Amino acid sequence: MDSDKFGDVIYGYTASSNALEEQNTVLKENVGKLRNELERYKKSPLMICEVREIYGNQAIIKIPNGNQFFVEVSSDCEKLKAGDSVLVEQKNLVVIGKIAAHNNFDVEKFVIVENPNVSWKEIGGLQKQIDELREVVELPLRKPELFRKAGIQPPKGILLHGVPGTGKTLLAKAVATATNATFIEIVGSELVQKYIGEGAKLVKDIFQLARERAPSIVFIDELDALAAKRIDIGTSGEREVQRTFMQFLAELDGFESLGGVKVVGCTNRKDILDSAVTRPGRLERHIYIPVPTKEARREILRIHIKNMNTKNLDLQKVLSIMDDFTGADIRAVCTEAGYCAIRESRTTITTEDFLQAIKTIKEKEQEEKNEEHLQMFG
């Protein structure tokens, strides 16, 4: 009986010692894991760089600040080519590995990419221009086989020119809507000012994105900021713009006129554009967008008041004092007229509100003109 008791004690001891050992192993494993984790956290972060050229197991890379280095490539690294994004050790700049699809994530941060929803009906006047656009942009995107059979090449791109506020952006969005195309919008002045040192790469990535998302329309507002004739390209800033412009021309030359990408450039300074961008094979078709005629102003006003809560509006009277208003001015008048009513706690908009709004918009424009004059002539 005694020995039995003793056996129980031993048995109990062995059991609890086994449990403890097990626990010990688990804890040891945990400590190991945590140590590894700690080691990982202590490592300095890797830098993302761009490969410029490859020489066997060495390469020229460009680091984010723009400087270039001749560096070693780790033997574990997969095969690289120029243009790849790679992870690089910060201390010695050894290339550790490649990372995928880093580029396009960036582009989408820099440019507006959308699927617009603008119907032709929302555009007042401009019927002739709309017909031309449909023929040179919409038709080739929708029915390329027609052009193949006929054996003609539609333009790769077009240029919309005319003063601001006349509906150029609107037209481009309407074409994109009609063709179910991705609309990629860049502003020329931003491309050359904001992305210093990155302009050319950005242009390259934008066209890459356009091909991936085809059918697509690359819309470049203020094209003149990028594509003006340059008399001398002395400063580094000017050389940078020139590089970006050259990349743009290379991209234009690099795609098929019957592919799924079309370029629409926009400017109010056609006179200063470099002829390299407007010549055949590039933005060869030029469409002038005029200030609306009287008839067009009536149509535009109709379009913009369609969803407004107006009452007994004397359109004739309103239109009679809107000579040389652009579409953008007319829209501004409508919004302002709505505000006039709201300020007086009304929700029906009257002729009086419109007359007041027109006065306000005219005054604002005069102020802007004075401001510009001051800036130019002091």
As measured in angstroms, the least distance from the Cβ of 79 to ligand ADP is 46
- DSSP annotation string for 172-219: HHHHHHHTT-EEEEEEHHHHHHTTTTTHHHHHHHHHHHHHHT-SEEEE
Q: How many CA atoms lie within 13 A of 359 on its CB side?
A: 7
3-class SS of residue 48: strand
Using Cβ positions, the residue closest to ligand ADP within the complex turns out to be 327
As measured in angstroms, the least distance from the Cβ of 330 to ligand ADP is 7
Whether the link from the prior residue into 140 is cis, omega within 30° of 0, is: no
Site for Mg ion in 93-112 (CB under 5 A): none
Judged by CB under 5 A, the stretch of 102-110, 169-177, 280-288, 358-366 that binds Mg ion is 169-177
Judged by CB under 5 A, the stretch of 121-129, 135-143, 150-158, 166-174 that binds Mg ion is 166-174
Question: In this structure, what is the dihedral angle of CA atoms 77, 81, 85, 89, given to the nearest 10 degrees?
Answer: 40
- Residue with Cβ nearer Mg ion (169 or 177): 169
If one counts every other C-beta atom within 10 angstroms of the C-beta of residue 86, the result is: 24
- The two structure tokens encoding residue 232: 């001398």
As measured in angstroms, the least distance from the Cβ of 176 to ligand ADP is 13
Residues in the chain: 378
- Residue with Cβ nearer ligand ADP (154 or 167): 167
Angle in degrees, CA 36, 79, 95, rounded to 5 = 45
Judged by CB under 5 A, the stretch of 40-48, 59-67, 164-172, 192-200 that binds Mg ion is 164-172
As measured in angstroms, the least distance from the Cβ of 353 to ligand ADP is 19
As measured in angstroms, the least distance from the Cβ of 332 to ligand ADP is 8
As measured in angstroms, the least distance from the Cβ of 188 to Mg ion is 11
3-class SS of residue 311: coil
Using Cβ positions, the residue closest to Mg ion within the complex turns out to be 169
Q: Is 169 in the site for Mg ion (CB under 5 A)?
A: yes
- Residue with Cβ nearer ligand ADP (140 or 265): 265
Tell me which residues touch ligand ADP (CB under 6 A): 123-126, 164-170, 300, 303, 327-328, 331
Total number of residues binding Mg ion (CB under 5 A)? Answer: 1
- Residue with Cβ nearer ligand ADP (119 or 348): 119
CA distance 340 to 359: 12
Judged by CB under 5 A, the stretch of 52-60, 106-114, 168-176, 231-239 that binds Mg ion is 168-176
Q: Which of Mg ion, ligand ADP, none binds 355 (CB below 5-8 Å, type-dependent)?
A: none
- Residue with Cβ nearer ligand ADP (221 or 353): 221
Phi/psi for 84 (5° steps) reads -65, 150
Segment (H or E) for 112: strand 112-114
- The two structure tokens encoding residue 261: 């990408």
Our measurement of the distance from residue 278's CA atom to the centroid of its chain's CA atoms, rounded to an integer in Å, reads 22
- DSSP annotation string for 73-97: B-TTSPP--TT-EEEE-TTT--EEE
As measured in angstroms, the least distance from the Cβ of 173 to ligand ADP is 8
- Residue with Cβ nearer ligand ADP (308 or 328): 328
- The two structure tokens encoding residue 52: 């410029």
Q: Which residues contact Mg ion by CB under 5 A?
A: 169
